[in-house]
Amino acid sequence: MASWLDYTINGLIVGNVYALVAVGLALIFGVSRLINFAQGSIYLVGAYIGWVAVVQLHTPLPITIIFVAVVAALVGLIIERFGLRPLQNSVRIAPLLATIGISFVLDQLVMLTFSPNPRALPSQLPDVRFQLGGGTIGPLDLLIAGVGISSALSLFVFLRYSKLGWAVRAASQDRDAAMQMGVDVNRVNQAVFGIAAALGGVSGLLVGMYYNQIDTAMSLQATLKGVVAEVVGGAGNVPGAVVGSLLLGLVESYGVAVFGTSYRNLFAFLLLVVVLVLRPNGLFASARQAPPEPLTGTFIAPSRPVRIPRWALAVAVAAFAVLPLLPVSFYMLQTLINAWLLGMLALSLTLVAGTIGQVSLGHAALLAIGAYTSALLSLTLAVPVGLAIIAGGLMSAALGTILISPSFRLRGHYVSIATLAIGEIVSLVILNWESVTRGPIGISGIPPLSLFGYDLISPNSVYWFSFAVMVALALLQARLLSSHLGRSFRAIRDDDIAARAYGLSLNRYKSLAFIFGGFAAGVSGGIAAHLYSYINHETFNTQQSILALTVVILGGLGNVVGAVVGAVALVGLPEIFRIAAEYRILIYGIVLLLLVRFRPQGLLGTI
Amino acid sequence: MAEAHAPLLSLRGLTRRFGGLTAVDGIDLDLAKGGLVSIIGPNGAGKTTLFNLVTGLDRPDAGEVRFEGQDITGLSPERLAGGGIARTFQLGRVFGNLSVMDNVLIGAHTRLRAVKPAVPVIGPLLELGLALLRPSSVKAEEERLREEVKTILARFGERLLPRIDQPAYSLSYANRRRVEIARALALKPRLLLLDEPTAGMNPSETTEMQGLVAELKAEGLTILLIEHKLEMVMRLSDRVIVMDEGKKIAEGPGEEVRKDPKVIEAYLGHGLSGTAEQESAA
């Protein structure tokens, strides 16, 4: 039985590691008002570069650390130069989406290079423990503490006494004023990204050594933890990020001590949601200050949407409806069924992210809620599948909206973080709430789709069913957009202050958008559950959230037809070109990046 | 109704501090129904902060705001809009991706009745249902408001009507300001706050805007106006309030205020007297 002192030491050490990630995030936020979702990917790159150095090159420890810092800094510089600098005068949503895309591409590149299997990362330090009061401390703990403290000190000296450091501080206080005084903001950005990446990479190395294991799932976790620590400390506040990190480390460590390891992340995300709701400026800011606006300007790219005549849409629907009667392959039907399911999710996300401007990164959680509700109702209570799917949609609408509601007072990047965290909370609850969800085992033997007592087993009937549901949801959404709610949602997206000044309640309309969108996503998840016949807590993961986001951007934010076209394109084209499955996610990430850079309004235009 | 002589809007000791800076410092103000009071003062005097306090976008640290005799201090902007207070924004806050028509329809949002039944708890769900089902009452209401928007836009001559379906981001700066005023009028306000309606307009556009504000006043609308162009302020205002560094330094009829040595000093001290002379010469 480890002592409380051990948990405290462990919490502080882990906190030190988080601080290395969080300080970088805080620096970047300070200068660019941007939450860098790719920070975790750099951390991942750092861990694997470290593995190459230790295991293959057999470098001594100091060289390993320097090597990792230099390579990670280079990656950071490349991200800044080619990923973000071209977007400087772009719409607010662009850099946010770009860092998400970059993160995806980096993670996939690491996974393709090193395979997703976990690897051991030996620490190169003697395995001894020193007695310290009632607990113990090892050389690695001391190393992590040393790296953490010396990084903090050198960063302090840099910001305080070097000319470039002054420029960084000036730019983060008032970017325009700094530019007018001759500060080269590009150089400041470079410096900040380089430093942030070096710290993030070293952090990945140290964590890998601490647990003697690295795997590609580390990336998202690191981003989330870093962001939690940064937001707790106050976005853009460098010392705050350090305190936030130590606090997060302690909360997690004590949480694990009391409740067990599988709850570790739950505490981090709950802490985040509580802080975002109660003190969105972090613990050290005054409560009455408005949260800093992440970037300024129009949120989505202004565009004139491509108007597709009704007859053309009717012809397209009719053509897809008669498709199964033609001599098409089973494989093609299967692909299109997947496209229709993704289309429903995209309809949901395009409403939430596009129409009302809440870029949700946890949308797969809505699928999961719908899927589990429908599966459990039909399995345990023998509810007819058709009704169970509708119940799944309603549950997703209700529960999803309630879970997401704490983020209604947030804006821009904060919404994305909150939804990402809420998505993780849902999947952790599914994993841990074994009496209802059957925990890690998942649910098997889910009855197949059926309607009015007839099982829909043939590919044709499944195709027609999913296509009909998607078309119905699309028509309903188009009708919604043409009502006063459509303009109200879009007004809130374009300028929530002006919208409030004209009597639009943000809570009310964001709730309605999530209720409507939650229903569509829940239905999609419900159908998927009955189609797959087996689901677990990993069936609906962040990758699907990102895929849906790419679909939505491809089609044009808020564009109903675009969401469906995007889904068909992203599911269908890789099939046509026979791209191997492991490269697909990489391609989705690259597509997202290219769209943000060259066609932010998507194929059919934002609405 | 409040008694006949009670002001429509009255502020008492309204104060707002940001850290060490007192942006609005103990402002008293009375605005009679149908009146037009202008607030002038150098940049940074606290005029827009005062507007934010009256419209609920910011909460005062001290003092109170009364509207039609009721204490409305610290109420949310949504509720104040529902109560008939409309405003325009200094830097222009139109909804860029919405058409001119939709922008102005948002102004009429608080007047939606058929589609927004005043039912507690399930009200929002009913609103969603009615928006999707669209019974004839909802359609009729929407149609009536659309006609009304056209009437409002017609006040701006041929400036906005031909562009009714264009997105607001494609409009000229002056036209965006006009859309904002049209949006405010669609609320059928009992109190209208205009924050520099002529900012960025050329002299002929300014004259046009001045004509419109005069028209609104003649129709009996109560107006609180922030404006830098003194010519317009002098012509339209019943009373002028001069603010400097958060404080009210003068109040009275335009001509009187203009000669007040404190006012001249405030403007000279901030290097704005040039603007004042220029405007009165125009």
Q: Quick one: pLDDT band at residue A294, thresholds 50, 70, 90?
A: very low
**Biggest CA-to-CA distance, chain A:** 79
Span A487-503, average pLDDT: 93
Of A74-83, B2-11, B45-54, B150-159, minimum mean pLDDT range: B2-11
Q: Return d(Cα B195, Cα A4) in angstroms, integer.
A: 60
* Cβ atoms of residues B88 and A497 within 8 Å: no
pLDDT at A134: 65
**Range among A23-37, A91-105, B238-252 with highest mean pLDDT value:** B238-252
Chain A residues closer than 8 Å to B187 by CB:
502-503
Q: In what order do the strands lie in the sheet with B85-87?
A: B85-87, B191-195, B222-226, B36-40, B239-244, B247-252
> In degrees rounded to 5, what are phi and psi of residue A129?
-125, 135
Residues in chain A: 607
Out of B59, B78, B127, closest to residue A500 by CB: B78
- HSE-CB at A469 with a 13 A cutoff on CA atoms is 29
Angle (nearest 5°) at CA B181 between B177 and B185: 165
Sign of the C-alpha dihedral computed for residues A181, B244, B91 and A281 taken in this order? positive
Decide if B169 and A511 are in contact by the 8 Å CB cutoff: no
Min Cα–Cα distance to chain B from A490, Å = 7
Chain B residues closer than 8 Å to A398 by CB:
none
Span A565-583, average pLDDT: 83
State the residue for tokens 């390579």: A71
Angle (nearest 5°) at CA B163 between B161 and B169: 135
Closest CA to A385 of A397, A376, A395, A398: A376
* Cβ atoms of residues A107 and A586 within 8 Å: no
Chain B residues closer than 8 Å to A484 by CB:
105, 109, 112, 115, 131, 142
Min Cα–Cα distance to chain B from A41, Å = 34
Q: Return d(Cα A471, Cα A465) in angstroms, integer.
A: 10
User: Can you give A218-265 as a three-state secondary structure string?
Assistant: HHHHHHHHHHHHHHHHCCCCHHHHHHHHHHHHHHHHHHHHHHCHHHHH
Sign of the C-alpha dihedral computed for residues A515, A516, A517 and A519 taken in this order? positive
Chain A residues closer than 8 Å to B76 by CB:
500
SS3 B30: strand
* Cβ atoms of residues B168 and B176 within 8 Å: yes
- Token reading at A66: 């320097």
Chain B residues closer than 8 Å to A288 by CB:
59
Decide if B169 and A503 are in contact by the 8 Å CB cutoff: no
Chain A residues closer than 8 Å to B131 by CB:
480, 483-485
Q: Return d(Cα B50, Cα B243) in angstroms, integer.
A: 10
State the residue for tokens 């620490």: A123
Q: Quick one: pLDDT band at residue B162, thresholds 50, 70, 90?
A: very high
CB atoms within 10 A of CB A311: 8
pLDDT at B2: 42
pLDDT reading at A291 higher than 60: no
Q: Return d(Cα A250, Cα B141) in angstroms, integer.
A: 58
* Cβ atoms of residues B263 and B242 within 8 Å: yes
Of A281-290, A370-379, A382-391, minimum mean pLDDT range: A281-290
Mean pLDDT of chain A: 88
Chain B residues closer than 8 Å to A483 by CB:
115, 131-132, 134
Topology of the domain comprising A4-278: ABC transporter involved in vitamin B12 uptake, BtuC (1.10.3470)
Min Cα–Cα distance to chain B from A289, Å = 9
Q: Quick one: pLDDT band at residue B114, thresholds 50, 70, 90?
A: very high
pLDDT reading at A377 higher than 80: yes
From the candidates A484, A505, A511, which should be mutated to test the interface with B, based on the most B CB atoms within 10 A?
A484
Decide if B93 and A483 are in contact by the 8 Å CB cutoff: no
pLDDT at A409: 79
Residue of chain A nearest B189, judged by CA positions: A502
Min Cα–Cα distance to chain B from A176, Å = 18
Q: Quick one: pLDDT band at residue B268, thresholds 50, 70, 90?
A: low
Out of B103, B109, B134, closest to residue A504 by CB: B109
Decide if B57 and A501 are in contact by the 8 Å CB cutoff: yes
What's the predicted TM-score (pTM) here? 0.89
Out of B93, B110, B115, closest to residue A498 by CB: B93
Chain A residues closer than 8 Å to B57 by CB:
497, 500-501
* Cβ atoms of residues A541 and A373 within 8 Å: no
pLDDT at B79: 95
CB atoms within 10 A of CB B156: 17
- Token reading at A231: 């937001």
pLDDT at A501: 94
- Token reading at A284: 């050290």
* Cβ atoms of residues A169 and A37 within 8 Å: no
Which stretches of chain B are DSSP H helices? 47-55, 77-82, 100-107, 123-133, 136-154, 173-186, 203-218, 230-236, 254-259, 261-269, 273-281
Chain-centroid distance of CA A158 in Å reads: 32
CB atoms within 10 A of CB A56: 8
Residue A214: DSSP 8-state: B
* Cβ atoms of residues A292 and A414 within 8 Å: no
Decide if A302 and B96 are in contact by the 8 Å CB cutoff: yes
From the candidates A286, A409, A494, A502, which should be mutated to test the interface with B, based on the most B CB atoms within 10 A?
A502
Which residues, other chains included, contact A388 with Cβ-Cβ below 8 Å and sequence gap of 6+? A373, A374, A375, A377, A378, A526
Decide if A483 and B131 are in contact by the 8 Å CB cutoff: yes
Span A462-486, average pLDDT: 96
Decide if A499 and B102 are in contact by the 8 Å CB cutoff: no
pLDDT at A2: 59
Residue of chain A nearest B97, judged by CA positions: A302
Closest CA to A104 of A603, A545, A433, A555: A545
Q: Return d(Cα B108, Cα B55) in angstroms, integer.
A: 17
Q: Return d(Cα B260, Cα B250) in angstroms, integer.
A: 7
pLDDT reading at A290 higher than 80: no
CB atoms within 10 A of CB A120: 13
> In degrees rounded to 5, what are phi and psi of residue A558?
85, -5
Out of A497, A498, A512, closest to residue B128 by CB: A512
* Cβ atoms of residues B35 and B238 within 8 Å: yes
Residue of chain B nearest A355, judged by CA positions: B97
From the candidates B89, B106, B194, which should be mutated to test the interface with A, based on the most A CB atoms within 10 A?
B106
- Token reading at A479: 């009708």
pLDDT reading at B278 higher than 60: no
Residue of chain B nearest A473, judged by CA positions: B132
Out of A499, A505, A515, closest to residue B128 by CB: A515
Chain B residues closer than 8 Å to A497 by CB:
57, 93
Span B177-187, average pLDDT: 96
Chain B residues closer than 8 Å to A512 by CB:
124, 127-128
Closest CA to B183 of B93, B50, B55: B93
Q: Return d(Cα A167, Cα A178) in angstroms, integer.
A: 7
Q: Return d(Cα B71, Cα B239) in angstroms, integer.
A: 23
Q: Return d(Cα A415, Cα A37) in angstroms, integer.
A: 13
Closest CA to B189 of B151, B163, B213, B221: B221
From the candidates B51, B57, B80, B95, which should be mutated to test the interface with A, based on the most A CB atoms within 10 A?
B95
Strands B85-87, B191-195: pairing is parallel
pLDDT, tens digit (0-9, with 9 covering 90-100), for A505-539: 999 999 999 999 999 999 999 999 999 999 998 89
Kindly provide the ipTM of the predicted complex, given to two decimals. 0.91
Domain ranges of chain A: 4-278, 328-598
Decide if B95 and A491 are in contact by the 8 Å CB cutoff: yes
